[in-house]
Structures are given as structure tokens and as C-alpha cells.
């Protein structure tokens, strides 16, 4: 069946309208595409074979638990991956959806950023109390993990020095919160549960009383160490707790676990870690962290306004007292795991590609609309004619009136597509 020559323009114009509809549909759908998940990599090395921690975070800041990772189509069981030059993509299974991150090994920096060592915040230093004294003695309280944890059993080291000489106190017994406690060469240890007040009462055998205050408060976490068994505990049930393992100050890996008040026993490899850190973010923990270290030496010089007054006398205490001081004071330091790759990099690439597609479709809409306008105008222009009746009177509009109507239609068509293209170009 042949197509009449005069019908070709109408078929072409119908094709223009269909094409415009498809292009506008594609434009709107691409414009609505959002970058909903971000890929982050953490580690202390970018050398081939180095270990990196992978985290997938939603746009609203929620860490995706068990993202179901695959590298180059090969599934991996943990969020720790080996950085190899053949990495072309990382895929995450998030619920019923699959997200592909086009991450490549070459996207890593040439060298890993240096880790930061976090100590005390400005607010903690500003609000730090002075060590308690009765005029003759000064008492220093140092919790096992540096900060006291409210509502949890806290083991506290007590260091007592004579104000006149700076030597350890000679008392052999003190009463802590009503309980007799042995003191050896100015050092004692006790445990308690702090409530809203982080103070204790210490009574000496000569009757003097000191109200001592733990200087720094902790949050949320605790570690229970019994031999080679280590349990991580949280005050309330909470997910996405980062547990870092360091050996000789080198990061070995991080597990992301859900903790509760009953605690979770850490995997066996943690017994080989000389530093264990708990936080919500291994790269930027704020003050919500806990550190545990076996190091018999200070990581950094004592610099806070509370314990700096004890530091000059610490060598006068017993070996066990000095070791406990070093171990507990080291718990005030947090070594960050550097950020190797930020999800914002992939988002920038996604947005650039999206913008390129939208620009291409926008120009195609413009060209197609102009082609349709030209086709419509030429076809109607050729069809303009005057029709006369038997008596010679016009039974159609005059040519001038038809040209006026055609011009009005062209103006309306043009205005419509100008507004449409403007709207598409500024669509949020």
C-alpha cells in the first residue's frame, strides 16, 4: 500500500510529536536520577595488596549494614578488601537493590594521608577540674580507660602525692566511698559505678576528707579483658560500632559490629592487637570513643591540665603503678584511620555524566521542535488558498486572515517550546 505524497508531511509531523514525547520523557527520568549511596574507603596504605575498609553510606548519612560487597563480580564476605590494580568496580547489594560503584584502583591517591592522633577536645580541656587536695596531699583519679563511663563498672587508679615534696603519699590505707582500700606507695585501685555525679569521697587515716572528681567523662563503650578474651560492650544496643585493630601503631583492620549491654566477644585475632579502638567513625570519632592499649610506654607526652601535675612525680611510684598510668593514659589517644577515597568523587562523575546526557537531550528537543515548526509552517503555508462559491463569493477565510492564523499558531508553538525548554533547563 503506497503512501500518498501529500500525506508525507503529516506522517513526518506525527513522528516529530512522538519523538518529542520520548525525548521529554527521557529528560525528566534522567533528571530525577539521584546519587543515593556513597562509597568510602579507609586505610593506611595505597600500595597493591594493602587492606582497606569499605563503607557504604546513604545520602541521609546512615551506614549500610552488611552491604553485600562484590569486586569485579566476585563476592567478598567482609568489608575489608585488598587493593589490587585490577579493580574495576565495587558492587553493593542493598536490600533488593544493587548499586554499582565504578571505582578503579587508579582513583586512589598516590600516597595515603597520615593518620591523626586525637587527644582531648577544646571543651574537655576548658571544663577540666583541678586535682583534689586537702592541703597536705593531692589526689589524682585515672580510670582504666581514661574516661569514666556512667552506669558502667569503672576501675579507677588513685595516685596520691605529698604537696610538700611531690613524693607518693605514705598512707597504707584509705577509705573510698566508705570502703577500706589498700594503698601502696601512694597508689591504690578500686571500682565503682558512677551515676550523675562523677565524684568519690576519700578519707585518710588522720581523718582528712577529700571529695575527688574524675576529670573526663566517657560515653557508651566499655571493654572487658580477661586473659585472651576481650568483650566489647555498649551502654545501650547500637549498630555500626567500628572496632579498630592496631599492631605496633600500624592499622590491621576494622570490624563493624552491633553491640549491646551484654557485650560481644571479639574475634581471636584481636588478642594480637596492642591497640583496640571503639568508635562510631574510625576516621573522625569526636569524643565518643574508647581505646585500649598494652603499650608500657606513653604514646605522647602528658599535656592535659589535670594529669600534667602528676607527671613529674610518676617515676617515684612503683613499677605496677607507673605501668597502669601509662596504659590508662594511652587510652586517651585515638589514632584515626585515614580516608583513602571519598564517595563525593564518584558523585561528581555521576553528576557530570548526567549533565552531559541532559544537555544532549535538551539540544535534540530543540532541534526536533525547530524541525517540526519548519515542517508545519511550510506544509500549512503551501495549503493556504481562497475558495470561492458559485456566485464568486468567498466561502473560506481570506489569505491574509489565514496567514494571520498561521502566524498566531507559530507564535503559540514557539512560545510553548521556549517555555518548555526553559523549564527543562531549570528543572531541579
Same domain, 249 and 294: yes
Same domain, 14 and 91: no
Tell me, what's the pLDDT at 369?
Answer: 84
**SS3 state of residue 129:** coil
Tell me, what's the pLDDT at 9?
Answer: 67
DSSP one-letter string for 137-149: EEEEEEETTSSB-
Residue by residue, pLDDT tens for the chain (428 residues) are 455 566 676 677 788 888 888 888 888 888 877 878 899 999 999 999 899 999 998 888 788 888 889 999 889 888 999 999 999 999 998 877 888 888 899 999 989 899 999 988 888 888 888 999 988 899 999 999 898 877 788 899 999 999 989 999 999 999 998 899 999 999 999 988 887 677 889 999 888 999 888 998 877 888 888 777 889 998 888 888 999 999 888 899 999 999 988 889 998 888 888 899 999 999 988 878 999 887 888 888 898 999 999 999 999 999 999 999 999 999 999 999 999 999 888 878 878 888 888 889 889 988 888 888 777 777 766 665 555 555 555 555 555 666 676 677 778 878 888 888 888 877 64
- Is residue 287 in some structural domain? yes
- Is residue 95 in some structural domain? yes
Same domain, 81 and 146: no
Tell me, what's the pLDDT at 399?
Answer: 57
Closest CA to 37 of 68, 74, 78: 68
Same domain, 286 and 237: yes
Rounded to a whole number of angstroms, the distance between the first and last alpha carbons of the chain is 48
Closest CA to 176 of 198, 141, 202: 202
Same domain, 170 and 316: yes
Same domain, 186 and 291: yes
* Last residue in a domain, options 93, 114, 135: 114
Same domain, 181 and 76: no
* Last residue in a domain, options 95, 114, 133: 114
- Is residue 292 in some structural domain? yes
- Tally DSSP H helices, then E strands, for the chain: 5, 25
- Is residue 233 in some structural domain? yes
DSSP one-letter string for 265-325: EPPGGGGG-SEEEEES-SS--TT-EEEEE--SS-SS---STTGGGTGGGGGGS-HHHHHHH
Tell me, what's the pLDDT at 245?
Answer: 93
Which pairing describes strands 132-133 and 137-143: parallel, antiparallel, or unpaired? antiparallel
Tell me, what's the pLDDT at 406?
Answer: 66
The pTM of the full predicted model, rounded to 2 decimals, is 0.76
Tell me, what's the pLDDT at 402?
Answer: 60
Tell me, what's the pLDDT at 381?
Answer: 64
- Is residue 44 in some structural domain? yes
Same domain, 156 and 266: yes
Residues 6+ positions from 268 with CB-CB distance below 8 Å: 228
- Is residue 341 in some structural domain? no
Tell me, what's the pLDDT at 31?
Answer: 82
* Last residue in a domain, options 63, 79, 114: 114
Tell me, what's the pLDDT at 335?
Answer: 92
- Is residue 345 in some structural domain? no
Same domain, 325 and 358: no
Tell me, what's the pLDDT at 244?
Answer: 94
Cα torsion angle, 316, 317, 320, 326, sign: negative
- Is residue 401 in some structural domain? yes
Judge contact between 224 and 231, C-beta under 8 A. yes
Same domain, 89 and 57: yes
Number of structural domains found in the chain:
3
**SS3 state of residue 83:** coil
Range of the domain at 192: 118-335
Same domain, 44 and 146: no
CA 419 to chain centre: 41
Same domain, 314 and 180: yes
Amino acid at each position: 500500500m503506497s503512501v500518498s505524497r501529500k500525506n508525507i508531511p503529516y506522517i513526518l509531523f506525527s513522528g516529530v510529536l512522538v519523538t518529542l514525547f520520548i525525548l521529554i520523557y527521557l529528560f525528566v527520568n534522567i533528571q530525577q536520577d539521584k546519587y543515593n549511596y556513597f562509597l568510602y574507603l579507609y586505610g593506611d596504605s595505597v600500595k597493591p595488596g594493602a587492606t582497606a575498609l569499605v563503607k557504604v553510606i546513604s545520602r541521609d548519612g546512615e551506614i549500610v549494614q552488611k552491604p553485600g560487597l562484590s569486586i569485579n563480580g566476585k563476592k567478598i564476605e567482609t568489608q575489608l578488601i585488598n587493593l589490587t590494580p585490577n579493580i574495576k568496580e565495587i558492587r553493593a547489594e542493598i536490600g533488593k537493590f544493587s548499586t554499582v560503584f565504578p571505582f578503579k584502583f587508579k582513583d586512589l591517591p598516590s600516597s595515603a594521608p597520615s593518620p591523626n592522633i586525637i587527644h582531648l577536645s577544646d571543651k574537655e580541656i576548658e571544663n577540666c577540674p583541678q586535682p583534689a587536695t586537702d592541703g597536705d596531699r593531692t589526689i589524682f583519679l585515672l580510670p582504666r580507660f581514661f574516661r569514666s563511663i556512667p552506669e558502667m563498672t569503672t576501675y579507677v587508679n588513685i595516685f596520691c602525692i605529698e604537696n610538700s615534696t611531690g613524693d607518693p603519699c605514705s598512707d597504707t590505707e584509705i577509705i573510698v566511698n566508705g570502703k577500706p582500700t589498700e594503698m601502696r606507695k601512694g597508689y591504690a585501685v578500686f571500682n565503682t559505678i558512677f551515676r550523675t555525679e562523677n565524684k568519690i569521697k576519700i578519707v585518710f587515716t588522720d581523718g582528712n576528707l577529700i571529695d575527688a572528681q574524675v576529670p573526663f567523662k566517657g560515653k557508651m563503650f566499655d571493654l572487658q579483658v580477661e586473659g585472651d578474651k576481650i568483650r566489647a560492650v555498649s551502654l545501650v544496643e547500637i549498630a555500626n560500632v567500628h572496632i579498630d585493630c592496631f599492631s605496633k601503631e600500624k592499622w590491621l583492620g576494622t570490624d563493624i559490629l552491633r553491640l549491646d549491654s551484654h557485650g560481644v566477644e571479639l574475634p581471636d585475632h584481636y588478642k594480637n592487637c596492642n591497640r583496640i579502638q571503639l568508635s562510631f567513625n574510625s576516621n573522625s570519632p569526636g569524643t565518643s570513643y574508647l581505646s585500649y592499649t598494652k603499650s608500657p610506654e606513653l604514646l605522647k607526652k602528658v599535656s592535659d591540665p589535670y594529669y600534667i601535675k602528676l607527671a613529674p612525680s610518676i617515676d617515684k611510684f612503683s613499677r605496677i603503678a607507673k605501668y597502669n598510668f601509662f596504659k590508662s593514659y594511652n587510652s586517651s589517644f585515638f589514632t584515626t584511620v585515614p580516608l583513602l577515597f571519598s564517595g563525593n568523587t564518584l558523585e561528581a562523575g555521576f553528576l557530570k555524566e548526567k549533565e552531559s546526557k541532559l544537555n544532549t537531550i535538551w539540544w535534540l528537543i530543540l532541534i526536533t521542535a525547530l524541525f517540526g515548526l519548519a515542517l508545519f509552517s511550510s506544509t500549512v503555508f503551501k495549503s493556504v488558498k481562497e475558495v470561492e462559491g458559485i456566485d464568486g463569493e468567498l466561502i473560506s477565510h481570506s489569505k491574509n486572515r489565514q496567514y494571520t492564523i498561521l502566524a498566531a499558531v507559530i507564535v503559540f508553538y514557539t512560545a510553548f517550546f521556549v517555555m518548555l525548554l526553559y523549564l527543562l533547563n531549570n528543572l531541579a
